[in-house]
């Protein structure tokens, strides 16, 4: 069976170089493919967009927005950053600050008692506490070795009655005084203990003197000596 003539010529052509007709056909096919690819781009270039109006306010744009800075950094990262940050202080200023803090209180062994802020009322109360043996002669008080009446560290407080304390054991509000001196003076007005003691001491000191003799003579005559 014989083959067609054109198939034989095609097989013969593939073995050798391309003919001018084949080259022209290939170029025409490539040109057609390039035109098909460029056609959508040319169509898209013909699309026209509407022009924007410059006098219309852009209501979709806002410039007054606020930012929560606490949300910018994660909380865990913030805690780690705070732990790692170290402040550099002046050694001389830091030492001076620590020394002032140490001098301001009596220390942890003494419950951080503050330094005494001396006032005239506090000075009188402290002197009265030192002379408490005179106020109550029937009770023994241990003498202090300190030469100064004012302690370096002290604190004044107020005793508050507990709920279990019966009301008859409390001092009436009208009898309460603000300081120790006021309490002693109020008690002296009722008892007259110190005035009586003062007269006894003066009598012993003036015994045998002219003033004592004149007072004795006036008492014998039933007169009262004026002082």
Count structural domains, the chain.
2
Structure tokens at 19: 């003919």
Residue 78, token pair as written in the block: 């913030």
Tokens of 1: 């069976």
Considering the domain architecture, whether residues 147 and 223 belong to the same structural domain is answered as no
Separation of alpha carbons 148 and 118, rounded Å: 13
Instruction: Return the closest-CA partner of residue 188 out of 205, 197, 179.
Output: 197
Is there a single domain that holds both residue 112 and residue 136?
A: yes
CA angle 189, 194, 199 (to 5 degrees): 120
Tell me, yes or no, whether 212 and 184 share the same domain: no
- pLDDT in tens for each of the 227 residues of the chain? 444 444 444 444 445 577 888 888 988 998 888 888 766 555 556 677 777 777 766 666 666 667 777 778 788 888 877 776 677 788 888 899 888 888 889 988 888 899 999 999 899 888 888 888 888 878 888 877 777 778 889 998 888 888 888 878 788 888 888 888 888 888 888 888 888 888 888 888 777 777 777 877 888 887 555 55
> Is there a domain that residue 41 lies in?
no
Which structural domain, as residue segments, surrounds residue 149? 96-157+174-191
Q: Is 199 in the same domain as 153? A: no
- Is the same domain home to 198 and 144? no
| Residue in this structure with the two tokens 């202090």, named with its chain if needed | 144
Query: Are 144 and 203 found together in one domain?
Result: no
Which residues on neighbouring strands pair with residue 105, listed in sequence order?
A: 114
For residue 212, the model assigns a pLDDT of: 76
* Alpha carbon separation from 212 to 48, 195, 204, 215, 224 (Å, rounded): 135, 18, 9, 5, 13
For the record, the structure tokens of 57 come out as 């306010």
Do 137 and 180 lie in one domain? The reply is yes
Say what the pLDDT of residue 226 is.
52
Q: Are residues 100 and 151 in the same domain?
A: yes
pLDDT of residue 116: 92
pLDDT reported for residue 129: 87
The predicted model scores a pTM of 0.45
Rounded Cα gap, residues 204 and 221, in angstroms: 22
Q: In the prediction, which pLDDT does 6 show?
A: 45
The secondary structure of 104-164 as a DSSP string is: HB--GGGTTPBBP---HHHHHHHHHHHTHHHH-TTS--PPP--S-SS-SB---------TT
Position 223 scores a pLDDT of 59
């Amino acid at each position: 069976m014989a083959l067609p003539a054109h198939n034989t010529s095609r097989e013969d052509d593939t073995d050798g170089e391309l003919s001018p007709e084949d080259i022209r056909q290939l170029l025409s096919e490539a040109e057609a493919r390039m035109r098909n690819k460029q056609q959508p781009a040319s169509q898209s270039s013909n699309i026209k967009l509407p022009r924007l109006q410059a006098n219309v306010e852009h209501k979709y744009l806002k410039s007054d927005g606020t930012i929560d800075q606490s949300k910018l950094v994660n909380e865990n990262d913030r805690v780690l950053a705070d732990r790692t940050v170290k402040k550099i202080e002046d050694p001389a200023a830091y030492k001076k600050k620590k020394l002032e803090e140490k001098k301001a209180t009596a220390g942890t062994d003494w419950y951080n008692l503050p330094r005494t802020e001396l006032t005239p009322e506090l000075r009188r109360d402290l002197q009265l506490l030192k002379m408490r043996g005179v106020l109550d002669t029937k009770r023994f008080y241990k003498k202090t070795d300190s030469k100064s009446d004012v302690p370096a560290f002290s604190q004044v407080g107020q005793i508050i009655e507990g709920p279990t304390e019966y009301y008859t054991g409390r001092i009436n509000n009208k009898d309460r005084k603000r300081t120790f001196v006021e309490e002693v003076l109020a008690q002296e007005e009722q008892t007259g203990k110190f005035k009586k003691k003062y007269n006894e001491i003066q009598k012993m000191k003036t015994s045998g003197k002219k003033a004592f003799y004149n007072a004795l003579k006036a008492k014998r005559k039933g007169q009262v000596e004026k002082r």
